[in-house]
Structure 1
């Protein structure tokens, strides 16, 4: 594993590369947090993820850790920087299995709406080398579409999961 910079919440706004995606969901913020806390749900909607393992015992909160395994053999050890139930969760990679990432963080912000909730997902990245910067610059449009597709998958997943409730 390669160490990543121990960035704070400010990195989510100042990172050299940011991807912001949004979706309206027909579920409550509490139901969305139920999904986000469920390690088995992530691979169902964020299909690049193959496994999520909590490495800290409940309750979840700032400082909670987990490991996320992704396609391509990439794994990241995460630490939560924010955990405001039904409103916000954010985490950073403390370590990642690739040397191409200097810093990485994600932020999930939830706002209640009259029909459920609105989710804004921000991914913030700082590549470790020139190849990573070129790759992110050239791949940004594809990554934007991919992450927006993940949120459409999340909407389908939550519609199915909560349709009987």
Structure 2
């Protein structure tokens, strides 16, 4: 059953009860990384192994995401700054115990490519927050694997 979550904004990045941050450098340009995140939403399922479906909704200000294991999310884009920031909040999900979710992808130019930082913020019931904390290592591994696959995809496309 889908649940409506709180309509949080970017300030939630600083106020969320749970904040996880992961980063990795890639040899792809900030522009290429941003395009893959913000403009090629259906492509997420090709580089982020947990994603089985990603599609923009309406005018592209919303997204539908489906994950392996049955997770479903309807999201609203809250920041889209070319080559630097892509952020979205979850408006509806079937994840039990979630009250608010916001994710930010920040892209910073570095010598030879970009540094990609993913910030995952959440509020929810105590069991939900505990489960996310216990899953931190898995989320980190999923992020590193996804960004590595994205890097391979972007550098092979540029060659």
Corresponding position: 1:12 with 2:8: no
**TM-score computed with the length of structure 1 as normaliser:** 0.86
Q: Which residue of 1 aligns with 2:23?
A: 22
Which stretches of structure 1, 4 residues or more, deviate above 4 A after TM superposition? none
- SS of 2:72's partner is strand
Match of 2:66 among 49, 64, 69: 69
**Structure 1 pair 73/160, CA: closer, same or farther in 2 (3 Å)?**
same
Within 1, Cα distance between the matches of 2:147 and 2:29? 16
Structure 2 length-normalised TM: 0.89
Which residue of 2 is the match for residue 97 of structure 1? 94
Query: Structure 1 residues 54, 20: closer, same or farther in 2, change over 3 A?
Result: same
| CA deviation profile, 1:59-96 (whole Å, cap 9, x unmatched) | x5xxx111111111111111011111111111100111
Cα RMSD for the two superposed structures: 1.6
The alpha-carbon deviation at position 148 of structure 1 amounts to 2.4
Q: 2:155 aligns with which of 134, 155, 159?
A: 159
- Structure 2 stretches lacking a partner, 5+ long: none
Once residues 93 and 133 of structure 1 are traced to their aligned partners in structure 2, the CA distance between those partners, rounded to angstroms, is: 16
